């Protein structure tokens, strides 16, 4: 019996300037079963130091965190209205120390 496993990975640069570079890594892994599992991760780095940026370091405008929270809640509500059960729940707001994002 042949068992098939696969792993795919690709990246896309979403933004780059003299201050930062921001990219997304798309991954897909199949390890048997009905279907594989996709993953998406974002990373943003300071171009001078190589330091991985946090949301707090990037979203410095007054009210930025509140605007992000409202937009995320709006998108969650939009997805949840499409189904008879909540797909996403328990969103408590963005963590400004979170490092897995892209610009």
Q: Which residues contact 55 (CB under 8 A, 6 or more apart)?
A: 65, 68, 94, 95, 96, 97, 98, 101
Entry pTM? 0.70
pLDDT at residue 28, as a whole number = 95
Interval 56-64 mean pLDDT: 87
Model confidence at 57, pLDDT cuts 50, 70, 90, reads: confident
Q: Which helix (H) or strand (E) holds 57?
A: helix 55-58
Q: Residue with structure tokens 């792993």?
A: 7
Q: Which residues contact 6 (CB under 8 A, 6 or more apart)?
A: 28, 29, 30, 36
Cα–Cα distance for residue pair 36/99, rounded to 1 Å: 25
Model confidence at 20, pLDDT cuts 50, 70, 90, reads: very high
**pLDDT over 80 at 64, yes or no:** yes
Domain boundaries, the chain: 6-81
pLDDT at residue 25, as a whole number = 95
**pLDDT over 80 at 1, yes or no:** no
Please return the burial class of 85, using the count of CB atoms within 10 Å of its CB with bins 0-12, 13-18 and 19+.
exposed
Cα–Cα distance for residue pair 56/65, rounded to 1 Å: 9
């Amino acid at each position: 019996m042949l068992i098939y496993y696969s792993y795919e990975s690709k990246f896309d640069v979403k933004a780059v300037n003299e201050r930062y570079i921001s990219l997304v890594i798309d991954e897909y892994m199949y390890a048997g079963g009905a279907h594989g599992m996709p993953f998406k991760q974002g990373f943003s780095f300071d171009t001078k130091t190589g330091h991985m940026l946090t949301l707090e370091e990037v979203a410095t405008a007054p009210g930025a965190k509140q605007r992000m929270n409202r937009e995320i809640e709006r998108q969650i509500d939009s997805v949840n209205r499409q189904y008879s059960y909540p797909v996403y729940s328990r969103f408590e707001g963005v963590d400004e120390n979170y490092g897995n994002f892209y610009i």
